[in-house]
Structure 1
Amino acid sequence: MPLDAADLSALIGLCREEIELHCEHLGRLDSAIGDGDHGANMRRGLEAVYRERDAISVLPLPAALERIGLVLVMSIGGAAGPLYGTLLMELGRGLAARDLAARELAVRELDAREEETDFAAVLAVAVTAVARRGRSGPGDKTLLDVLYPVQAELASHAAPVRIAECARLAARGTEMMLARRGRASYLGERSIGHEDPGASSCALLTMTICHYFKEQAPS
């Protein structure tokens, strides 16, 4: 589904509301295995994006994603800022490069299924960039444990409701993982039994976006 300014502004608002609603929960998750500030940091980041929503929403999608990523890097702080920022900025750059190549080759407009495949490929590159930035991978108990399965579901043309459920279950699945990166890794086996806060916030944002697409999809 193409995103216009109204869609992007609405999504920014919904994501901000979702993080605000779960701010204390994210903080409790982080208190168990980290500094306890993930909820507050994410709220600060989403508030910063929300304050710029009018200027961001009128940008072309690639530029808007890059700007959101930059705002998150500057405002979230901690480990999450660079990871979320990298994801959004790489998505924006990837989409910009795709659009430029399409214009140069005078490629016809993609249909909905081709658009999904194209976006999934760009997302795969962005997720790899996040892994490289965090020097982590699948099973390390990070937000990547949500991003990898979500990207795979998107590549398989799964419906938004299925992608949302995948994100929820993936975040829950980090509970029994041993943390191998970040502050939680210092706890060793004591990190087992606690859901990763970064995976949780990533799932919340993914679910919010998916539910919006589901509601806006033509019946």
Structure 2
Amino acid sequence: MSAVSAAVDREADRLTELDSAIGDADHGTNLRRGFTAALVSLEQENPATPGAVLLLAGRQLISTVGGASGPLYGTLLRRMGKALGEADSVDTAQLRDALRTGVDAVAQLGSAAPGDKTMLDALYPAVEALEESFEAARTAAEQGAVATVPMLARKGRASYLGERSIGHQDPGATSAALVFAALADTVKAAEAAA
């Protein structure tokens, strides 16, 4: 969560700039506020398990992030946390399964699917690529975000623009790619330290 928060903080202006073209121009600002609040809560409460960390972070995102991003990212993290349960540690297969559960919940909440020009266009390819490695998941998420540029938005605020949504990268897919980049960097650092 620290790495995700740092990545969002670093890229907040770019996310907001992307959102200004096809949204409310607040995606980066909202996510920065939410992930900062999540980190503060995690430091104060110090949850004992990975699942508890995700549940708490998800609750904080829902309560502090405006627009659709709070409920969507909050749902992603909370469903992942519930899927992981009380386990003290998590392996790659368990994380992948929890991610899939969380991403499916996001799709259901947003009534969206890959190809709608949403965060799902980065999330689903990343979860699939996690079968191979965390680096593959990072690459798949980044490619998924870039692939939203020529798409016509069919969900969210961008869908109100119709054809004018074409030619702009989706900010939600871009922030989802940041999450997977942070995850890959964290795993790489942990492996190097082992």
TM class, shorter-chain normalised?
Answer: over 0.9
Q: Displacement of 1:26 after TM fit?
A: 0.7
1:33–1:126 Cα change, 3 Å: same
Aligned to 1:76: 65
User: Does the CA contact (< 8 Å) of 2:41 and 2:56 recur in 1?
Assistant: no
Aligned to 2:191: 217
User: Does the CA contact (< 8 Å) of 2:152 and 2:162 recur in 1?
Assistant: yes
- TM-score of the pair, normalised by structure 2: 0.92
User: Does the CA contact (< 8 Å) of 1:164 and 1:211 recur in 2?
Assistant: no
Aligned to 1:103: none
Structural mapping, 1:129-168, within 5 Å: 129-154=105-130, 156=131, 158-168=132-142
Aligned partner (choices 37, 53, 74) of residue 48 of structure 1: 37
Whether 1:201 and 2:190 are equivalent positions in the alignment is no
Q: Displacement of 1:183 after TM fit?
A: 0.8
Q: Displacement of 1:56 after TM fit?
A: 4.7
RMSD of aligned C-alpha atoms?
1.9
User: Does the CA contact (< 8 Å) of 2:42 and 2:57 recur in 1?
Assistant: no
Aligned to 1:182: 156
Q: Could you list the per-position Cα deviations for residues 42-83 of structure 1 after superposition, in whole angstroms to 9, with x for gaps in the alignment?
A: 111011012123235442111111110000000111001100
Residue identity in the other structure for 1:198 = G
Q: Which moved more, 1:69-78 or 1:163-172?
A: 163-172
Count matched residues: 193
Give the percent of matched residue pairs that are identical in Structure 1 and Structure 2: 40
Structure 2: gaps spanning 5 or more residues: none
Residue identity in the other structure for 1:210 = A
1:57–1:153 Cα change, 3 Å: farther
- TM-score of the pair, normalised by structure 1: 0.82
Residue identity in the other structure for 2:127 = Q
- Which structure has the larger Rg? 1
User: Does the CA contact (< 8 Å) of 1:141 and 1:174 recur in 2?
Assistant: yes
